[in-house]
Amino acid sequence: MAPEEIRNAVLEILEDIAPDEDLSSLDDTKSFRDQIELDSMDFLDIVMELRKRYRVQIPEEDYGQLASMSSTVEYLTPKMEHITA
């Protein structure tokens, strides 16, 4: 998947987890938690959805890499390059 496709995939997951949030003005460089209401369970749901939908394994020590959209896309790009959208 290309970085833009990964961004769209993450947005889809966020829309499912936080359906009441307006994601249209999401700043890719700012922390998700600073912009939308996400608790630790929501964050784990994101990780689990990435695993379920795309078979991407994210070790717990790498969770910090998923703080913002830009860091998430950067982290996932090499892990998802084999996936076709």
pTM across the whole model: 0.91
pLDDT tens for residues 5-53?
Answer: 999 999 999 999 999 999 999 999 999 989 998 899 999 999 999 999 9
Instruction: Give the C-alpha separation, 75 to 73, whole Å.
Output: 5
